[in-house]
């Protein structure tokens, strides 16, 4: 062995938390609410000169404190992007904040006019909420990566002295031997040197059935041992496993996400320069006509009426509506950005095992030996399976009879790599039962007779033999089954103008033979990701739908990704949306809803820009008092809200149907807020 009898403490994973961000957001929201009440009161009923000054000072200090506490990221982002030559919505936020604060300062020092200090706190609170939730989404994925790594981070090494040591996997060197017990995850890449067992590898390679691994066979970290204990000799160091490369690929892709330009930024790219030019022109004109005070007054009115509240509402209200509509259909989106991402997709890539096919194999044929009571075989096999979660016969548990007719199962014992055996008492008769692969067959068991009896179209699949004593009495053929909704979802996707294909790690895909669908088999996780990148290079925007650990790198490279809710945790955290409903037609419905929502958001943004442009024109001409400018701003926001809610009704949000697939308190997060949907 390469190393012996050394041990270090376990590596710790630091939690990613940002309580300070939530505290700043809470303070900004409280100050914004109080400032709005106080500002409205003094604007409607101006107090006396002495009291007025002190109230203005309190409001100004509050606004400045909120900006220093939570608004500095707006300034940094706006100025940073400006230095890079980009115009973004943060600059419009900063412009609105500056306009409101400067206009209020003028009123404070002049001694007349309205104040708008509360606008500063409101805009800062809206922006901070979006950034905090975005940061939380990123940290959740990183925590999921670390959790999966931690699950396979320790092992039991057998030293050269024969001692068993619990050590971090990072200390494993090539040639070290590791003991893995039944039910544990395999922590190293290596080969079996002792024992044999069933190993579930579907999360890594898409193989639908557990496979038997014997001495000399290669195994990968991230697989799970289902029965039997084995000793594995590491063929690579503990830090160079294939699992480590997969987790690294997810981390790297998350740190360098595909750029998605928001609709608001596209409007701001031309709207902000227009606002600045008009404000400057207004100041120059009115300064020449009536002095710098009047010029500043009207210029600040231009800036105030250009406050991005309407544009800020157009996107989140539309996004929240779409998120709620998708949640009703059983698709939970983690980020509002997913709405635009899904809408832009024109190509769908499906994983096979657990995505297009059912998670567990189904019974496609069942035959019994001549003269054997078929009902008795079903009854006994079903009863045995109720006392075991062994994967090869899980489908047989549905055969278990009602309690009053249930045979008595005295004992159940695992046969590693083969199946299980049990002692059953059925209606006074004692039966020794064995279920499993061909390893349960004894000499002269008579399995050939049953093979001939199988339906001619049922040649492929996993065989489960049922033996009473030394005689085989039944043969069950298990095979992958397509989800019932697969043909319908493919037809709907074609109607939407989207092409589709399947990428699977399974070596064969007979279950897909009847579908007119391109299928690539035997793909590694890296090959799946490379195919997605290649499609992107051809100008395709890929929506990836999968469920396994081996899908995570491809999901991160795709324009958008949907994870099946019953799949691996890393897949769920890598994807931007989780499909909780069993119906795959939800994928096609999501594309329809997202495209409709993006069209509505684009219309609202253009409306808000046109409305604000008209208001800017009135302010620049001196016809719009700052108080009226504030009213115009709020009226624009109200109109955009009404248009967005009208689109909400079209999506069917708020109808009395139950929330599909969501449990109480399930949270759907958008880029600017959150929606809680409870059953």
Which residues are part of the catalytic machinery? Answer: 351
What is the CB-side half-sphere exposure of residue 156 using CA atoms within 13 A?
Answer: 11
Contact 16, 142 (CB under 8 A): yes
First to last CA, the chain: 56
Tell the burial category of 20 from Cβ atoms under 10 Å away from its Cβ (0-12, 13-18, 19+): exposed
CA angle centred on 299, ends 295 and 305, rounded to 5°: 150
Strand (E) or helix (H) holding 646: helix 626-651
Q: Are strands 560-564 and 542-546 parallel, antiparallel or unpaired?
A: parallel
Nearest to 396, CA basis, from 464, 312, 496: 464
Quote the radius of gyration of the chain (alpha carbons, Å): 32
DSSP string, 498-560: -EEEEE-SSS--GGGTTS---EE-S--HHHHHHHHHHHHHTT--EEEEE-SGGGHHHHHHSSE
Query: Strand (E) positions, 369-417?
Result: 408-415
Rounded CA gap, 336 and 333, in Å?
A: 7
Nearest to 475, CA basis, from 571, 378, 348, 388: 378
- Report how far apart, in Å, the C-alpha atoms of 567 and of each of 24, 70, 239, 551, 571 are: 36, 38, 25, 10, 7
Structure tokens at 646: 């009208």
Rounded CA gap, 355 and 561, in Å?
A: 13
At residue 459, φ and ψ (nearest 5 deg) are -75, -35
Nearest to 310, CA basis, from 616, 668, 32: 616
Neighbours of 337 (CB within 10 A): 19
Structure tokens at 482: 């397509």
DSSP 354: I
Rounded CA gap, 296 and 110, in Å?
A: 12
- Report how far apart, in Å, the C-alpha atoms of 391 and of each of 90, 192, 224, 520 are: 54, 21, 12, 27
Q: In what order do the strands lie in the sheet with 331-333?
A: 331-333, 577-579, 560-564, 542-546, 347-350, 499-503, 519-520
Structure tokens at 476: 């069950």
Specify which residues 157 forms β-bridges with.
165, 178
Contact 1, 159 (CB under 8 A): yes
Taking the CA atoms of 197, 202, 203 and 204 in sequence, report the sign of the dihedral they define: positive
Rounded CA gap, 543 and 553, in Å?
A: 13
State the residue for tokens 């009426």: 305
Distance of CA 493 to the CA centre of its chain: 21
Nearest to 531, CA basis, from 561, 562, 553, 560: 553
Give the helix, strand, coil percentages of the chain, each rounded to 5.
Answer: 50, 20, 30
Rounded CA gap, 89 and 74, in Å?
A: 10
Contact 127, 74 (CB under 8 A): yes
DSSP string, 480-501: --B-TTHHHHHHHHHHTT-EEE
């Amino acid at each position: 062995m390469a190393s012996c009898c050394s041990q270090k403490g376990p590596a710790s994973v630091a939690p990613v938390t940002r309580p300070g961000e939530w505290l700043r957001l809470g303070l900004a929201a409280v100050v914004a609410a109080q400032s709005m009440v106080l500002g409205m009161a003094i604007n409607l009923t101006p107090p006396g000169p002495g009291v007025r000054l002190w109230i203005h000072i309190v409001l100004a200090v509050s606004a400045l404190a909120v900006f220093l506490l939570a608004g500095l990221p707006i300034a940094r982002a706006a100025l940073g992007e400006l230095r890079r030559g980009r115009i973004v919505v943060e600059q419009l936020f900063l412009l609105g904040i500056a306009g409101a604060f400067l206009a209020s300062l003028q009123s404070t020092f002049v001694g007349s006019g309205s104040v708008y200090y509360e606008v500063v706190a409101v805009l800062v609170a809206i922006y901070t909420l979006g950034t905090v939730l975005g940061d939380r989404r990123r940290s959740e994925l990183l925590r999921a990566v670390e959790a999966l790594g931690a699950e396979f981070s320790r092992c039991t090494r057998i030293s050269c002295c024969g001692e068993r040591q619990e050590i971090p996997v990072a200390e494993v060197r090539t040639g070290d031997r590791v003991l893995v017990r039944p039910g544990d995850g395999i922590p190293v890449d290596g080969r079996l040197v002792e024992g044999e067992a069933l190993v579930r590898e579907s999360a890594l390679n898409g193989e639908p059935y557990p496979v038997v691994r014997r001495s000399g066979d290669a195994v990968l970290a991230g697989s799970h041992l289902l029965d039997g204990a084995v000793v594995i000799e590491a063929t690579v160091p503990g830090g160079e496993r294939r699992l480590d490369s997969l987790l690294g690929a997810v981390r790297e892709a998350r740190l360098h996400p595909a750029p998605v330009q928001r609709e608001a930024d596209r409007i701001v790219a031309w709207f902000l320069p227009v606002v600045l030019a008009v404000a400057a022109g207004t100041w120059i004109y009115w300064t020449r006509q009536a002095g710098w005070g009047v010029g500043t007054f009207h210029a600040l009115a231009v800036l105030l009426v250009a406050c991005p509240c309407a544009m800020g509402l157009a996107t989140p209200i539309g996004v929240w509506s779409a998120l709620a509509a998708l949640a009703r259909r059983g698709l939970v989106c983690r980020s509002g950005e997913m709405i635009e991402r899904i809408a832009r997709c024109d190509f769908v890539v499906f994983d096979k095992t657990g995505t297009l096919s059912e998670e567990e194999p189904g019974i496609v044929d069942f035959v019994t030996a001549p003269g054997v009571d078929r009902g008795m075989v079903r009854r006994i096999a079903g009863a045995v399976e109720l006392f075991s979660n062994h994967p090869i016969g899980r489908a047989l548990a549905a055969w278990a009879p009602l309690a009053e007719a249930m045979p008595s199962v005295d004992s159940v014992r695992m046969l590693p790599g083969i199946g299980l055996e049990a002692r059953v008492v059925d209606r006074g008769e004692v039966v020794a039962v064995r279920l499993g692969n061909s390893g349960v067959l004894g000499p002269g068991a008579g399995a050939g007779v049953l093979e001939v009896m199988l339906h001619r179209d049922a040649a492929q699949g996993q065989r489960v033999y049922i033996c009473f004593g030394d005689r085989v009495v039944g043969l069950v053929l298990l095979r992958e089954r397509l989800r019932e909704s697969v043909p319908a979802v493919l037809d709907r996707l074609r109607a939407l103008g989207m092409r589709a294909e399947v990428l699977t790690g399974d070596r064969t895909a007979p279950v897909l033979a009847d579908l007119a669908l391109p299928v690539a088999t035997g793909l590694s996780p890296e090959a799946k990701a490379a195919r997605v990148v290649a499609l992107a290079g051809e100008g395709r925007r890929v929506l990836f739908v999968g469920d396994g650990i081996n899908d995570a790198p491809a999901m991160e490279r795709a324009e958008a990704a949907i994870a099946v809710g019953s799949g691996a945790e890393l897949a769920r955290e890598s994807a931007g949306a989780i499909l909780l409903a069993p119906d795959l037609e939800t994928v096609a419905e999501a594309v329809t809803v997202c495209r409709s929502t993006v069209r509505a958001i684009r219309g609202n943004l253009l409306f808000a820009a046109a409305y604000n442009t008209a208001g800017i024109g009135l302010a620049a001409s001196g016809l719009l008092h700052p108080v009226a400018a504030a009213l115009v701003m709020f009226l624009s926001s109200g109109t955009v809200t009404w248009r967005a809610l009208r689109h909400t009704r079209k999506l069917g949000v708020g109808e009395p149907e139950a929330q599909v697939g969501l449990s109480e308190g399930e949270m759907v997060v958008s880029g600017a807020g959150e929606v809680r949907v409870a059953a």
